[in-house]
Amino acid sequence: MITLYDTTLRDGTQREGLSLSVEDKLRVVQKLDALGVHYVEGGFPGSNPKDAEFFERVHELDLETAVVTAFGSTCRKDTAAADDAGLAALLETGCEALCIFGKAWDLHVTEALHTTLEENVRMVRDSVAYLKAAGRTVFFDAEHFFDGYAHNAGYALEVVRAAAEAGADAVVLCDTNGGTMPHEVMRATGVVALEVDVPLGIHAHDDAGCAVANSLVAVEAGCTHVQGTANGYGERAGNADLLVIIPSLVLKMDRECISRDRLKLLTEVAHFIAETGNIAPDPHQPYVGASAFAHKGGVHASAAARLPEAYEHIDPAAVGNLARVVVSELAGRASLTMKAAELGIDLSGDQETVGAVLDSIKELEHRGYSFETADASLEIMLKRRLGSYEPSFTLESFRCIMEKREDGRVMTEATIKLYVAGHRYIATAEGNGPVNALDKALRMAIGRYYPALEDFDLTDFKVRVLDEKKGTGAVTRVLIETADGEKSWGTVGVSENIIEASWEALVDSIEYGLAHPRQETDVPHGS
């Protein structure tokens, strides 16, 4: 049985740009609990008011599998464990499990802690023993273990032996600098497994791109406790991605850690934590990324539909993901037919239309369009071709005015003239830019007929200059991501005029959203 230990809420939040509120952290704990993670590290008590509040409130959660863990360090040099404020703060959290770190590299002991090698071993032994005497589960993180082992193996082993002899429930070998290679992890872990008689763990960072590999080979070498973060979040290049390690353990190595039923929540959990941290989910993340099982090439996509096991290393459903066809200039007729079916459009009996649409797609992509992340625009284009597209409104004209004032303020105003439900409307709105002003004016003009617009939020806006050599006259591609609280969709627009390209993508986003209204449900939010 492999024990999973998540440190997203502590180590993961050291990633630049990632900050979680107390409410965010509590929601993440619940998601990881639902996934079946065994230990969730909540933070460093006493380091900041946010973590103090978290540890006060987390005990109110009704958790099924996850044990919330507090993190800290060994006692300070020349200080008895019973007199150390940091260890006292750990106990005051009331957490059943505690994790402390101590130095395993002699260089850090003498140059960072400025103490003796003997005193560092005493700090490790006494701290573990003190917390164990208080009746807690204690994990010891041997910080910089692999670098320490490479420079002074005897001392690194002395440190981990001290923790094990003091009663640590697991000794965790840390690749803190993230530069150790898998074969080095395998060799060193194997040696430690012969030296100590307690469960071993692995805590890897990804500075050399080997964090997941190092975690998996450590398991092969005897580790039964694996630490990591959701989506690999963490300082510098990040930590080992626990959401890649888990399916690899279950599906590739046949190691028990979570049930296969819970494994189906993996993609949902990955995206939930990314969105909670206000980070766009990585579409190319193994197992859970939106592109992890995407097939783009025409022949490849067609063959994958007939024999998926020949082109997909696992069944995407096993991790809660989906296989999909990406339509591009590489697509063939079979690929386009399959993609249309995904969008609810049956082209199976109309090869003439398929051929014509395929030619259109190739021409449009030659002009700069890209439908790989713009399924909504693709669906609208297909419906136009089939004559089933019914626009929600008809544009007469729009105009944007930007004004820079003497006081430094920049004002943008947009006026839209259009027809909706047989009536002509004119709407003017100000915004923080032309696209924002156009969006507001459009909503003003048609909102009375389409109240669902209130649910639509533009969540991402990307601009790509396609031919930089043409400077300000270059063709521009605009991609817009829109969400309604239940789903999200992408649209694309292309023009030499960035505002026109933005308008095209904006209109598609509104049209698609109105054609696919959010499903109202009585299920409480968050259930």
Query: Quick one: residue 439, left, alpha or beta (phi over 0 = left, psi -120 to 50 = alpha)?
Result: alpha
Closest CA to 100 of 109, 110, 88, 108: 88
- pLDDT tens, position by position, 425-436: 999 999 988 999
DSSP string, 203-235: EEB-TTS-HHHHHHHHHHTT--EEEEBGGG--S
- pLDDT tens, position by position, 170-222: 999 999 999 999 999 999 999 999 999 999 999 999 999 999 999 999 999 99
pLDDT of residue 97 exceeding 90? yes
Asked if residue 222 lies in contact with residue 253, where contact means CB atoms within 8 angstroms, the answer is no
Q: How far apart are CA 361 and CA 364, in angstroms?
A: 5
Q: How far apart are CA 27 and CA 13, in angstroms?
A: 15
CATH architecture of the domain with range 3-276:
Alpha-Beta Barrel (3.20)
Place 329 in a pLDDT band, splitting at 50, 70 and 90.
Answer: very low
Q: How far apart are CA 35 and CA 228, in angstroms?
A: 14
Closest CA to 142 of 200, 58, 95, 91: 200
Cα three-residue angle 432-435-439, rounded to 5 degrees = 95
Model pLDDT, residue 330: 47
Q: If you count them, how many residues does the chain have?
A: 527
Token duo for residue 304:
């994958």
- pLDDT tens, position by position, 276-300: 887 878 889 999 997 888 766 544 5
DSSP string, 16-66: TT----HHHHHHHHHHHHHHT-SEEEEE-TTS-HHHHHHHHHGGGS--SS-
Model pLDDT, residue 521: 40
Neighbours of 326 (CB within 10 A): 20
* Mean pLDDT value of segment 46-58: 86
Q: Specify the fold of 368-392+456-519.
A: Double Stranded RNA Binding Domain (3.30.160)
- pLDDT tens, position by position, 12-50: 999 998 989 899 999 999 999 999 999 999 998 876 788
Closest CA to 69 of 34, 94, 32, 35: 94
DSSP string, 94-122: T-SEEEEEEE--HHHHHHTS-S-HHHHHH
Asked if residue 104 lies in contact with residue 65, where contact means CB atoms within 8 angstroms, the answer is no
DSSP 486: S
pLDDT of residue 306 exceeding 80? no
Q: How far apart are CA 501 and CA 458, in angstroms?
A: 15
Boundaries of every domain in the chain: 3-276, 294-361, 368-392+456-519, 402-449
Place 474 in a pLDDT band, splitting at 50, 70 and 90.
Answer: confident
Phi, psi of 519 (to 5 degrees): -80, 120
